[in-house]
């Protein structure tokens, strides 16, 4: 059976992937300080450096979100992967708000 690449086949995974990407965005973007230093050395405008950093961290988070959702969906069932993504995203929001107080 050939692997389908149409968006309709991947559509049920998108909410879980988005939740995992949201949950993993900050933890995965924090180690990008080395990349930020390298970009500063290239002489790019500061706005372009920020754009490149944001795009790279988003792509990394989306890839990690896809992998997390696929692995958890495979191990626990499709609904559980997205549900745990929601829990992880809300837990990150809770921790961020708790640190403010």
The predicted pLDDT at position 65 comes to: 82
The domain segmentation of the chain, as residue ranges, is 14-100
**pTM to 2 decimal places:** 0.66
Q: Which two tokens stand for residue 6?
A: 């149409």
Least confident of 3-12, 15-24, 61-70: 3-12
In the predicted model, is pLDDT for residue 1 greater than 60? no
Q: H/E/C letters for each residue in 2-35?
A: CCCCCHHHHHHHHHHHHHHHHHHHHHHHHHHHHH
Task: Please name the residues in contact with 29: beta carbons below 8 A apart, sequence gap of 6 or more.
Answer: 53, 57, 60, 61
Among 13, 12, 24, which Cα is nearest to 60's? 24
**Are the beta carbons of 69 and 81 closer than 8 angstroms?**
yes
Q: pLDDT of 20-48, one tens digit each?
A: 787 777 777 777 778 888 888 888 888 89
């Amino acid at each position: 059976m050939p692997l389908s690449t149409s968006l309709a086949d991947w559509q049920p995974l998108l909410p879980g992937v988005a939740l995992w990407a949201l949950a993993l965005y900050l933890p995965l973007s924090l180690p990008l300080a080395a990349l930020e230093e390298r970009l500063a050395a290239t002489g790019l405008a500061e706005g372009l450096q920020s754009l490149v950093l944001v795009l790279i961290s988003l792509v990394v988070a989306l890839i990690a979100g896809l992998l997390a959702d696929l692995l958890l969906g495979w191990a626990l069932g499709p609904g559980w992967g997205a549900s745990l993504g929601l829990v992880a995203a809300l837990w990150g929001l809770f921790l961020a708000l708790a640190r403010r107080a």
